[in-house]
Amino acid sequence: MPVEQFYYDNRITRDFAIATMLWGVVGMLVGIIIAIQLYLPEWNLGLAWTTFGRLRPLHTNAVIFAFAGNAIFMGIYYSLQRLCRARMWSDFLSKFHFWGWQAIIVAAAVTLVLGYTSSKEYAELEWPIDIAIAVVWVAFTLNMFGTIIKRRERHMYVAIWFYIATVVTVAILHIFNSFELPVSFMKSYSAYAGVQDALVQWWYGHNAVAFFLTTPFLGLMYYYLPKAANRPVFSYRLSIVHFWALIFIYIWAGPHHLLYTALPDWAQTLGMVFSLMLISPSWGGMLNGLLTLRGAWDRVREDPILKFMVVSVTAYGMSTFEGPMLSIKSVNALSHYTDWTIAHVHVGTLGWNGFLTFGVAYWLIPRIYKTKLHSVSMANLHFWVGTLGILFWVIPMYWAGITQGLMWKQFTSDGLLQYPNFLETVLQIVPMFIIRSIGGTIYFIGICIGIVNLYKTAKSGSLVANEAAEAPALEKSEGSEGHVYWHRWIERRPLRFLVLTLVAILIGGAVEIIPFILDKSHVPTIATVKPYTPLELEGRDIYIREGCNNCHSQMIRPFRSETERYGEYSKVGEFVYDHPFLWGSKRTGPDLHRIGKKYPDAWHYNHMLDPRTMSPGSLMPPYPWLLTDDLGASDIRKKISVMRTLGVPYEDGYEDQAEADLNAQAATIQANLKTSGIETGAEKEIVALIAYLQRLGTDIKVGREVETVDLGDMPATDVSALTDEKSLESGKDIWVKNCVVCHGDQGQGGIGPNMTDNYWINGDGSIAPIVHVVREGVPAKGMIPWKTTLNEQQMLEVGSFILTLKGTNPPNPKAPEGMLHE
């Protein structure tokens, strides 16, 4: 059989290696910045494009698609050529893939900080970039399959199976999740709405983790771990079970991100069951990797490459055990929306993806430069610094998540929320935020050590851009191949293998998603739920632009702890016109689904101007540009038209009326603000955002509505003020936690009236009417009833404390309101 000579392309591997390190620095540096912003919000420097809401998606996209993505391509381009004994099919497609991917990353970095986002987690990029991703991904897929088809090795090794599953599934996930209708060059609306959008998004989001951060890295594990250990894979048959079970089961698990939401229960249960089933193939793969080291464990003590790989595979096992546990409903009830989930994710990204990337790089770079690793000691230092960084990162976040989840659910012996002020539960975990940022910095230092080591390694050698190799040509099989193990037969036929892979990954998605698209009974409508007004639609787009959904959910789960805190639980029919859905996945701030009409317009205005004046101690940054920037609603006609095309029932021709309605509603809010002493233009962005926030959760009647206080019903003398020091101190504590937001820290007034003068809007300033107003609220003025949060004793204590504020004459008091009562 004639032997053919050819050359491996190492230049493309080198290029992706450089990009991996570059974007790793950028992505993780941004991660450190936003970690610090969670306890020092002023770290955004007062700039719109450096707020947490805009930088957080930049961090996730940079780490996932730039750092991990380039690492995947680095590892695949090197290993695929050698597994196929062939140069890549097209040098042009290799270069197109590299430069196209880097251009996409740059475009993502620029557009995300400018506020151009679809708001979908891990899929925030707008439609022109989505198209570019699809084009570049297809080019990579063609190049990969072209190489496989022209291979000189008949058997497709297990790593190639995982590469095939990756390229096919990611393409399908990206295309279906990116169905959207453009409004303008950098604005679009999702083709799906509400619960449909949520299901499709988390079908994508969960499987982006599965098929971008798991399957390709498993392929790298199956190639580079045996190479580094100089041992064959432990079990070929186990790898078969691992592969097919994993790709079939993984695709079903997405709904576990939506437990206890408005998603129908059958879909939630399906996601939970398949998530639990994932433990078996995931741990099968982990054991196959670790047992490959049989007979080589003594080398782990000395070899930093094996250290990185062993901890990486172990982290994979830990995260793939914890993930199914978090999908159990009783566990998810505690963990969801907390930092527990964040800790879980980072065990995988820092340990599994990060450490395997550097293990591969330390093995690969010396080989393409024909030299030795510059410093084994530096690599070992990198390992221990990185490991320390991971521990300092994830342990405080587990602590924070469990602490916050328990605080949210804690009730007093009187049956009231122990921590009614959401901010209390955030401030409690600030020390853990600080330790987490230290851990991230330590991990980042480790990366810098590794990059210096790899750079010096490359400098000590010379890149072999075209590495000579030779292998006999692959002969075409003629007739029967005799008795061949069934999977060997499939491995020799890449196109049939591709078809079987497609079948395996499409079944789960079809079963879960198609019913929601074809059967309308899964999304019952509510007659009182109406489309957003033009001004509310513009405000919603501002909410999306600023990334508010990165910190606030809009999904109240059917738990007493949530309905007591936020109001009536969320119904599936409330979201039928939400393109896209904004349920969120993390509560750094409170849920906002019932925020509408809870506070007056002026409260929202001042809250966006300076959150700490409304919520002392708040970790939310100010948004002053919303008060000065004009709305510029020139696209409102197009937005209404696009929404109607998507099924939102705006009347035909409403585009002609939309701008007038927008201006009228803006003028009403402007007038409301003026009554509170706030002068602003109706054309300002803050007005649109207020309109949207005041709409949230108001389409259905909720059980906590109360009538405006009727002074005639007030008890006159059935209570007496408390004067003992303990009661007044307790009343002051309640006042500071709940009342200063509207009445000022010294009672001088703000959104609410001045409590230090002798003028009273409701009552005569005696203890009985004060307690009555605290109990029942004044909904017409934006004051909520506190009877569901405070008990009678606590209301009497805070009322008694209010009486002590009379005559204190604080600076800058609000002008008198109501009737004078001497």
Closest CA to 404 of 392, 416, 418: 418
pLDDT at 145: 96
Closest CA to 268 of 342, 344, 333: 333
Q: What are the E-state strand segments in 173-252?
A: 180-184, 187-190
- Same domain membership, residue 437 and residue 565: no
Residue 319 has pLDDT above 90, yes or no: yes
Residue 470 has pLDDT above 80, yes or no: yes
pLDDT at 702: 58
- What is the tens place of the pLDDT at every residue in 668-696? 999 999 988 899 999 999 999 999 999 99
pLDDT at 404: 96
Residue 613 domain-assigned (yes or no): yes
- Same domain membership, residue 741 and residue 611: no
- Same domain membership, residue 451 and residue 354: yes
Residue 204 domain-assigned (yes or no): no
First to last CA, the chain: 111
Residue 717 has pLDDT above 70, yes or no: no
Residue 59 domain-assigned (yes or no): no
- Same domain membership, residue 338 and residue 460: yes
pLDDT at 705: 40
Burial of 716 (0-12, 13-18, 19+ CB in 10 A): exposed
pLDDT at 714: 47
- Same domain membership, residue 691 and residue 726: no
pLDDT at 84: 97
- Same domain membership, residue 609 and residue 550: yes
Confidence band, pLDDT 50/70/90 cuts, at residue 480:
low
pLDDT at 710: 45
Section 517-535 average pLDDT: 88
pLDDT at 641: 96
- Same domain membership, residue 658 and residue 544: yes
Mark which of 470, 487, 503 sits at the end of a domain: 470
Identify the weakest region by mean pLDDT among 89-98, 348-357, 614-623: 614-623
Residue 715 has pLDDT above 80, yes or no: no
- Same domain membership, residue 569 and residue 443: no
pLDDT at 481: 58
Please identify which residue in the block is written with the tokens 């405000």.
Answer: 539
pLDDT at 435: 98
Confidence band, pLDDT 50/70/90 cuts, at residue 483:
low
- Same domain membership, residue 731 and residue 686: no
Do residues 292 and 225 make contact, with C-beta atoms less than 8 angstroms apart? Answer: yes
Handedness of CA 384, 390, 396, 402 (dihedral sign): negative
Residue 668 domain-assigned (yes or no): yes
Q: Cα separation of 254 and 513, whole Å?
A: 11
pLDDT at 117: 97
Q: How would you label 35-67 residue by residue, b for 16+ Cβ within 10 Å and e otherwise?
A: bbbbbebebbeeebebbbbbbbbbbbbbbbbbb
Mark which of 695, 722, 751 sits at the end of a domain: 695
- What is the tens place of the pLDDT at every residue in 326-341? 999 999 999 999 999 9
Cβ contacts of 32 within 8 Å, gap of 6 or more: 437, 440, 441, 444
Task: Pull the structure tokens for residue 337.
Answer: 């929306």
- What is the tens place of the pLDDT at every residue in 387-398? 999 999 999 999
Burial of 147 (0-12, 13-18, 19+ CB in 10 A): buried
- Residue 610 sits in which domain range? 534-695
Residue 484 has pLDDT above 80, yes or no: no
Q: Cα separation of 508 and 515, whole Å?
A: 12
Mean pLDDT is highest, among 251-265, 728-742, 754-768, for 251-265
- What is the tens place of the pLDDT at every residue in 431-458? 999 999 999 999 999 999 999 999 999 9
Q: Which residues pair with 783 in a beta bridge?
A: 778
pTM of the model: 0.89
Section 480-504 average pLDDT: 84
The per-residue pLDDT of the chain, averaged, comes to: 92
Residue 79 domain-assigned (yes or no): no
Confidence band, pLDDT 50/70/90 cuts, at residue 139:
very high
What is the total count of domains within the chain? 3
- What is the tens place of the pLDDT at every residue in 192-222? 999 999 999 999 999 988 999 999 999 999 9
Residue 553 domain-assigned (yes or no): yes
Neighbours of 540 (CB within 10 A): 24
- Same domain membership, residue 691 and residue 729: no
**Which is more confidently placed, 436 or 714?**
436
654-662 long-range contacts (CB < 8 A, ≥24 apart) are: 658/534, 659/534, 659/633, 661/533, 661/534, 661/535, 662/533, 662/534, 662/535, 662/538, 662/633, 662/636
pLDDT at 477: 63
Section 565-571 average pLDDT: 94
Residue 787 has pLDDT above 90, yes or no: no
Q: Helix, strand, coil shares of the chain as percentages rounded to 5?
A: 65, 5, 35
The CATH number linked to 576 is 1.10.760.10
Q: Cα separation of 212 and 64, whole Å?
A: 8
User: Would you list the DSSP string of 247-258?
Assistant: HHHHTT-GGGGG
- Percent of all residues in the chain with a pLDDT value above 70, rounded to a whole number: 96
Identify the weakest region by mean pLDDT among 222-226, 546-550, 619-623, 632-636: 632-636
Identify the weakest region by mean pLDDT among 281-285, 309-313, 770-774: 770-774
Residue 653 has pLDDT above 90, yes or no: yes
Residue 262 has pLDDT above 70, yes or no: yes
- Same domain membership, residue 691 and residue 572: yes
Do residues 819 and 759 make contact, with C-beta atoms less than 8 angstroms apart? Answer: yes
Section 60-75 average pLDDT: 98
Q: How would you label 718-732 residue by residue, b for 16+ Cβ within 10 Å and e otherwise?
A: ebebbeeeebbebbb
Mark which of 695, 722, 742 sits at the end of a domain: 695
pLDDT at 327: 96
Residue 206 domain-assigned (yes or no): no
pLDDT at 786: 83
**Which is more confidently placed, 480 or 139?**
139
Residue 172 domain-assigned (yes or no): no
- Same domain membership, residue 460 and residue 377: yes
User: Would you list the DSSP string of 280-292?
Assistant: HHHHHHHHHHHHT
- What is the tens place of the pLDDT at every residue in 692-709? 999 999 998 754 443 334
Identify the weakest region by mean pLDDT among 55-59, 254-258, 596-600: 596-600
Confidence band, pLDDT 50/70/90 cuts, at residue 188:
very high
Confidence band, pLDDT 50/70/90 cuts, at residue 780:
low
